[in-house]
Amino acid sequence: MQKTQPAPTARTTPGTPRTPYARRARTVALTALAPAAWGSTYAVTTELLPPGHPLFSALLRALPAGLVALAITRVLPRGDWWWKAAVLGVLNIGALYPLLFVAAQRLPGGVAATLGATQPLLVAALAVAVLHDRPSLWRLSWGVLGVLGVALVVLGPHARLDTVGVLAGLGGTAGMAAGIVLLKRWGRPAGVAPLTLAGWQLTAGGLLLLPLALAVEGAPPAIGAGAVAGYLWLGGMGGLIAHTLWSRGVAGLPVGASAPLVLLSPLVAAVVGTALGESLNAVQGVGFVVALAAMGAAQVDGGRGRGRRWRR
């Protein structure tokens, strides 16, 4: 009697999560490393970099990292991806960094961080217009709570508002929100790795910052050993690696799940501040927990009906 052969089993690459939930959790965790790294920017800038040259710092954070990525991948945009990469580079880097620096200079850090925490709500509004997706009430509610949580952590009792600073902060936040939505709509070109897409954006943003930095700040400052370490961190982990992970995550996650992860930036900044001698009171601790809960809840769509389309 002829023996029947057992059916072949699916093979998995070592280290690859076996279930969709595990794969989703892994994607979320890797994507979250990007805003977590961005949360160290303020401390690195104030502790290691020469003061008074924010555009030069932004330039060194973007352009060298972009050129390194291009040298590694050796892939240039094709067709309409020339202008798409330029648009994403301007929104996510070239215009974002100067606007955030203006906000940081004219506003207390807590106010600027709270404005940045509104990004998930801006993403939700843009997704309705561009992606024709309606967010569930669940995610909108947690988005509002996330902003409130960050505000409790970073807003001080003497927070002051400046019109130009507020407009710059909201402009930078809205620009990156638009970059998230457009990246979700366009996706990545076939056969293009996240590192390649990140390199296109960093190079485009850096090329925009180059003449701006020279025109506004003039010759670059003297750079010591501490500044070299700071620039390497901002350009490596905060630039090339973070934007690669972010490009990968935004393409693979629903916009309603990826956008709230930016709340990690002000939270990590607060944690780094405590390591540098600052302290968190009970109210700030409550805000920290609320913001973390908002990020976690955003990974699950608790809505019904039309809101389920937001998961795509």
Cα distances from 116 to residues 1, 89, 247, 270, in angstroms, run 71, 18, 19, 14
**Does 102 map to a domain?**
yes
**Does 4 map to a domain?**
no
If one counts every other C-beta atom within 10 angstroms of the C-beta of residue 294, the result is 24
Give pLDDT tens digits for 185-218: 898 888 899 999 999 999 999 999 999 899 988 8
Model confidence band, residue 9 (pLDDT cutoffs 50, 70, 90): very low
Burial of 119 (0-12, 13-18, 19+ CB in 10 A): buried
**Does 5 map to a domain?**
no
Model confidence band, residue 97 (pLDDT cutoffs 50, 70, 90): confident
C-alpha 187/C-alpha 85 separation (Å) is 11
State if pTM tops 0.85.
no
For position 7, what pLDDT does the model report?
45
**Does 249 map to a domain?**
yes
Range of the domain at 131: 33-311
**Does 7 map to a domain?**
no
Which residues have C-beta within 8 Å of that of residue 86, sequence separation ≥ 6?
204
**Does 21 map to a domain?**
no
**Does 9 map to a domain?**
no
C-alpha 93/C-alpha 86 separation (Å) is 10
C-alpha 218/C-alpha 188 separation (Å) is 37
For position 255, what pLDDT does the model report?
79
**Does 6 map to a domain?**
no
- CA-based angle 248:31:134, to the nearest 5? 80
Number of domains in the chain: 1
DSSP state of 219: S
